[in-house]
Every structure is written in structure tokens, then in C-alpha cells.
Amino acid sequence: MKRRSIVLALILSLVAAPIVSASGLPTAKPEQVGLSSERLDRIGQALHADVERGRIAGAVVVVARKGRVAYLQAVGFKDKAAGTPMTPDTIFRLASMTKPIVTAE
């Protein structure tokens, strides 16, 4: 029974995720929610480096804590061939449902 509840909660969170976008959450400076601006900036630097090396085309990163978005950044391209930049509201198609579960933990 407990496992079924956990699976149901995960499914509901995945279904509800597009409805509750990061733009709808209030924002806060990282320090206001107990995070470090300098350390969060390292995420963007690493992703920019990966885009420049050609390892990834692009990415969107959202870090939220205590119900507020502390870090939101889009890097790289949605469509590299067309030169279309990645935006914070980009929708990603997932080929495997284990990916969002792993990344959500």
C-alpha cells in the first residue's frame, strides 16, 4: 500500500509539473532561502562550458527552495542548427519516465 501511494504521488507530481511552472512561483535571492549565489553560478558556468564543447545543445536549470525559485537559467540552444536559443519555458520530450524520477530526488 505504501509503495502504491509513493508511485501515485510521483505520477501526480509529473503530471502537475507542467501546470505549475517556475515562472508562477515567487522568486527569492539564493541567500534568502539558505543557498549560495556563488555556488549556484557554478551550475551555469559548467553548463555553458558543456555547450561550448558540444557535449549538450542546451539546458534549463531551476533550483527552488521553500516554495521560491532561487535560481533559473537557460543556456544553449533549443535547436542548434537553427540557432534558436533555449528559454526558461522550453518543453522537453522525455524518452524514459525514469529520468524525471531520478532528477527529482
Is residue 101 in a domain? no
Best CA proximity match to 87, nearest among 65, 97, 72, 69 = 72
Is residue 45 in a domain? yes
Name residues whose C-beta falls within 8 Å of residue 56's C-beta, 6 or more positions apart in sequence: 47, 50, 76
Find the catalytic residue in 21, 36, 37, 96.
Answer: 96
Is residue 104 in a domain? no
Is residue 99 in a domain? no
User: Are 46 and 64 a contacting pair, CB within 8 Å?
Assistant: no
Is residue 50 in a domain? yes
Is residue 13 in a domain? no
Cell of 9: 504521488
Residue type, 1: M
Is residue 9 in a domain? no
Cell of 100: 524525471
Domain that holds residue 79: 22-94
* Window from 18-27, 40-49, 91-100 with minimum mean pLDDT: 18-27
Is residue 10 in a domain? no
How many structural domains compose the chain? 1
Asked about 23 being catalytic, the answer comes back as: no
Residue 101, pLDDT score: 57
Rg (CA), the chain: 16
pLDDT tens across 65-103, in order? 888 999 999 999 988 889 899 999 888 777 776 656 555
